[in-house]
Amino acid sequence: MENAIKVTGLRKVFDQHAAIEDISFSVKPGEIFGLLGPSGSGKTTTIKILTGELGQTAGDVYVLDINAPLFGTADFKSRIGILSDNSSLYERLTVYDNLKLFCKLYDAPLEQIEVMLDEVNLKEARSKVVSKLSKGMKQRVLLAKALIHKPELVFLDEPTSALDPGNAAHIHRGLQKLNEAGTTIFITTHDMEEATELCDRVAFLDKGKIQELGSPDELRYKYSTHAFHVETFDDERLVIENEAGNADKIRDLIANGEVKSIQSDNPTLGQIFLKVTGKELV
Amino acid sequence: MNTQRIGAIFEKDIKDFMKNMMLLMMPIVPIILALIYSRLGEGEELPIPMLYLIVGVTFSSVTASCMMTMMAEENEKKTLRGLMLSPASFMDIIIGKSLVVGLMTFIALAISLFFAGVKPFLSVQAIIGLILLFLFFLFLGIGIGLFTKSVASTSAYLMPVMFLFGFTPMIEFFGLGEDSIAITIADLFPIMQLIKMHDTNSWVPIGVVAIWTIGAALFTYICFKKERTDD
How does pLDDT run along chain B (231 residues), one tens digit per residue?
889 999 999 999 999 999 999 999 999 999 999 998 888 766 678 888 889 999 999 999 999 999 999 999 998 888 988 898 999 998 999 999 999 999 999 999 999 999 888 888 888 999 999 999 999 999 999 999 888 888 989 888 888 888 888 888 888 777 777 778 888 888 889 999 899 888 888 889 999 999 999 999 999 988 887 766 565
How far apart (Å, rounded) are the C-alpha atoms in residues A210 and A204?
6
B9/A88 Cβ within 8 A:
no
pLDDT of residue B41: 67
Looking at per-residue confidence, does B170 or A63 come out higher?
A63
- 3-class DSSP state for residue A237? strand
Of A57, A62, A58, residue with least CA distance to A25: A62
- Set of chain B residues whose Cβ sits within 8 Å of the Cβ of A87: 78, 81-82
- The amino acid occupying position A86 is N
Dmax over CA atoms of chain B, in Å, equals 59
CA of A152 to nearest chain B CA: how many angstroms apart? Answer: 14
User: Total domain count for chain B?
Assistant: 1
Sheet architecture: strand order including A5-14: A17-27, A5-14, A58-63, A66-67
* Cα B220-B225-B229 angle, rounded to 5 deg: 140
Chain B stretch 62-101, residues whose beta carbon is closer than 8 A to a beta carbon of chain A: 77-79, 81-83, 85-89
How far apart (Å, rounded) are the C-alpha atoms in residues A211 and A232?
38
**Mutation site, B6, B19, B86, interface A, largest A CB count within 10 A:** B86
A87/B87 Cβ within 8 A:
no
pLDDT of residue B230: 60
pLDDT of residue B231: 59
Is the CB of residue B133 less than 8 Å from the CB of residue B214?
Answer: no
- Set of chain B residues whose Cβ sits within 8 Å of the Cβ of A82: 85
Give me chain A's average pLDDT, please: 89
Dmax over CA atoms of chain A, in Å, equals 71
* A111-143 pLDDT tens trace: 999 999 998 889 999 999 999 998 888 988 998
B78/A104 Cβ within 8 A:
no
> Domain range holding B52?
3-228
Q: Is A207 exposed, middle or buried (0-12, 13-18, 19+ CB in 10 A)?
A: middle
Size of interface A-B (CB pairs under 8 A): 75
Angle between helices B124-147 and B90-116 (to 10 degrees): 130
CA of A273 to nearest chain B CA: how many angstroms apart? Answer: 30
- Residue A75's closest chain B neighbor by CA? B87
A58, β-bridge pairs? A11
pLDDT of residue A282: 62
A93/B16 Cβ within 8 A:
yes
How far apart (Å, rounded) are the C-alpha atoms in residues A168 and B16?
31
- Set of chain B residues whose Cβ sits within 8 Å of the Cβ of A81: none
- The amino acid occupying position A8 is T
CA of A175 to nearest chain B CA: how many angstroms apart? Answer: 21
* A4-34 pLDDT tens trace: 999 999 999 998 888 999 999 999 999 999 9
A129, β-bridge pairs? A94
pLDDT-derived band at A162 (thresholds 50, 70, 90) equals confident
pLDDT of residue B175: 73
How far apart (Å, rounded) are the C-alpha atoms in residues A7 and B77?
31
**What is the set of domains in chain A, with CATH numbers?**
5-215 (3.40.50.300), 225-265 (no CATH)
CA of B135 to nearest chain A CA: how many angstroms apart? Answer: 25
- Write the CA distances from A230 to A227, A241, A245, A259, B70, integer angstroms: 10, 11, 16, 7, 65
Strand A32-36 versus strand A201-206 pairing type: parallel
